[in-house]
Structure 1
Amino acid sequence: MFGTPKRGVGAYATVGLETGVAAASPQKLVVMLYDGVIVALLSAINHIKSSNVAAKGASISKAITIIDNGLRASLDKKAGGEIAQNLDALYDYMSRRLLQANMKNDIAIIEEVHSLMSDLREAWVAIGEKSDTAEQAVPAIQRAPTLMSA
């Protein structure tokens, strides 16, 4: 009548994820995409180790989809200039490497892409922290004149 507890937890997690996405800044959304790729890559490694070929392929496909349809698609090459061009080339490289890893069941290639993704994620997190600090300083600066005139 009420379904299984597992379905309820799954629905709750989906709502939590959707709420997080809706409330996230563009910078945070990029970090979430990196997180998705990293989780898919770790899953692919585990599936290779357990000889689960179908699940390995699904995990690598998920990582490639996030890279191509999320990260690459969100690049603004005009506004981003050389940085966006370089990221586009790096994302293309990672997608091609993951295709090779899938064909060869090569954990080393997946670990290479994982390392690149982790480095990029760390950089985006640092950008977000600097941005958050700057945003917090602005209201304090805007309040300062009213405090001084009082």
Structure 2
Amino acid sequence: MFTAFTPRSASAYQRINVETSMHTMDQHQLVSLLLDGLLQAVATARGALARGDVQTKCGSITKALRILEEGLMTALDREAGGEVAANLEAVYDYALRRLIQANARNDDTMLQEVSRLIEPIVQAWKEMKNNSHEASQIAQLVPAEA
């Protein structure tokens, strides 16, 4: 009748949940998830490097690279974003190069550098969402002019 719980089946449900969520969330939430995932992947790589777990380190750095290349860099609107998008693209490109070097050299300092570069972006992104939410709440309180 019922089969025993397996990590594989749990993984399938988690993947379906993530895919379903991606269709219902706004772009701001998606970028926020990508940024958080990037920091998490770098942190996992750092832990694996400290333990000497080469396979996990390489997998985590690969995940971070994919988030940067396939997620964050492709999400940039270079036309509408102007100078901000250009600056973010430069930071992301630099982070890509540092991750590749960190992987090749097993250099934790480079991984720390990437985290320190991305953390202010994550904070600014979250503050921007909070500020826009507060602005929309205030706008609802102000009566429309007739």
TM-score normalised to structure 1 length:
0.86
Bigger drift between 5-14 and 115-124 goes to 5-14
Q: CA deviation at 1:72?
A: 0.6
**Which one-letter code corresponds to 1:47 in the other structure?**
A
Q: CA deviation at 1:37?
A: 0.5
How many residue pairs align between the two structures?
Answer: 145
Change (3 A) 1:2 1:74: same
Indicate the residue corresponding to 1:44 in structure 2: 45
Aligned residue runs from structure 1 range 109-124, under 5 A: 109-124=110-125
Q: CA deviation at 1:3?
A: 3.4
**Which one-letter code corresponds to 2:108 in the other structure?**
I
Indicate the residue corresponding to 1:84 in structure 2: 85
Partner deviation per Cα, 1:49-89 (whole Å, 9 max, x = no partner): 11111221111011011001111111111111111111101
Indicate the residue corresponding to 2:4 in structure 1: 4
Q: Does 1:14 align with 2:18?
A: no
Change (3 A) 1:85 1:42: same
Indicate the residue corresponding to 1:139 in structure 2: 140
Q: CA deviation at 1:14?
A: 3.1
Larger Rg: 1
Q: CA deviation at 1:15?
A: 4.0
Identity %: 36
Higher relative contact order (CA 8 A, sep 6+): 1
d(CA) in 2 for partners of 1:4, 1:129: 43
**Which one-letter code corresponds to 2:34 in the other structure?**
L
d(CA) in 2 for partners of 1:135, 1:29: 20
TM-score normalised to structure 2 length:
0.88
Change (3 A) 1:2 1:135: farther
5+ residue gaps, structure 2, are: none
Deviation beyond 6 Å, 4+ runs, structure 1: none
Indicate the residue corresponding to 1:148 in structure 2: none
Q: CA deviation at 1:25?
A: 2.0
Bigger drift between 10-19 and 50-59 goes to 10-19
Bigger drift between 91-100 and 5-14 goes to 5-14
Indicate the residue corresponding to 2:101 in structure 1: 100
Indicate the residue corresponding to 1:127 in structure 2: 128
Indicate the residue corresponding to 1:34 in structure 2: 35
The root-mean-square deviation of aligned C-alpha atoms, in Å, is: 2.1
